[in-house]
Amino acid sequence: MTTPPAVEIEDVRKTFGRRTALHRVSLRVEPGEMLALIGPSGSGKSTLLRHISGLVAADRTAGRIRVLGREVQAAGRVTPDIRRIRSEVGFIFQQFNLVGRLSLLTNVLAGMLARVGTVRSLLGGFSLAEKRRAMQALQRVGLAEYAAQRASTLSGGQQQRAAIARAMEQRARILLADEPIASLDPESARLVMECLTSLNRQDGVTVIVSLHQVQFAVQYCPRSVALKDGRVVYDGPSSELTGETLRRIYGCRVPDFGIDSTAPLEFDVCRAPALAASA
């Protein structure tokens, strides 16, 4: 039996008033891929991720999106089964979306909501085994020592890694990350990208991450898809992105990237032996 694509997008169009956010976008992502969405602000990256998760419906004139072989939406209508599909799709937001007054452990346990139900989740009725699993997720992202601490007391980078641990506890098969490192310092950004890479390589989770920092796309994501004005203008190996290609995508002078206009981009891959909890 053929394994269906992790994500399959066909001819999706989305308009907001007179502005076209997505212009008949088609895209296929295979299970286990780690893909970067790049492109200038307003190019449609966030809109596309929200369509994949069923948070936004496309125009009715055309378009279909399937996730793990199941239809998320077609002809502008989101499937009634969307909640079950979302249980296997984690979403990492730029602003973390943690409950600041709750402990880090409780926030991670919230990833189990789709499996344990709202009532048990609100009452905090988690078993010892479930709490141990959540602690293991925090250990993987380097935050186990902060499990009892309120989420609001942690740094942005720490909160973003906690959001990744929550997706681990959700047992998501696909992870959508919408500019997860946009507001972070370089070291915190690196640690977040290392966590996403670990989830992809060790757990086989399909990761689609929207990035403004092209160097991180090249360093961590084998494949990049570039959007510009709602259209796919590049889909290929990240290693083959050149200064000239990026100039066409971003519309700025090549020296602004600090790279040669024709040569492939090259960056040192800096792998930490362990995640630092202080970032």
Q: Tell whether the model's pLDDT for residue 74 goes beyond 80.
A: yes
Q: Give the rounded percent of residues in the chain with a pLDDT score beyond 70.
A: 85
Question: Looking at residue 263, what is its pLDDT?
Answer: 43
Q: In degrees, to the nearest 5, what angle opens at C-alpha 140 toward C-alphas 46 and 275?
A: 85
Q: Which residue has the higher pLDDT, 182 or 252?
A: 182
Of 182, 169, 222, 172, the residue nearest 36 (C-alpha): 222
Question: Looking at residue 61, what is its pLDDT?
Answer: 76
Q: Tell whether the model's pLDDT for residue 271 goes beyond 70.
A: no
* Lowest mean per-residue pLDDT among 7-16, 144-153, 242-251: 242-251
Encode pLDDT of 95-151 as tens digits: 888 999 999 999 999 888 765 555 555 555 688 888 999 999 999 999 999 999 999
From the CA atom positions of the chain, what is the Rg in Å?
Answer: 19
Tell me how far CA of residue 152 lies from CA of 93, 157, 159, 212, in angstroms.
16, 12, 8, 26
| pLDDT tier, 262 (very low <50, low <70, confident <90, very high otherwise) | very low
List the chain domain ranges. Answer: 100-171
Quote the mean pLDDT of the chain. 87
Encode pLDDT of 192-239 as tens digits: 999 999 999 999 999 999 999 899 999 999 999 999 999 999 999 999
Mean pLDDT of 66-70: 96
Longest dimension (CA), the chain: 58
Q: Which residue has the higher pLDDT, 266 or 84?
A: 84
Question: Looking at residue 125, what is its pLDDT?
Answer: 67
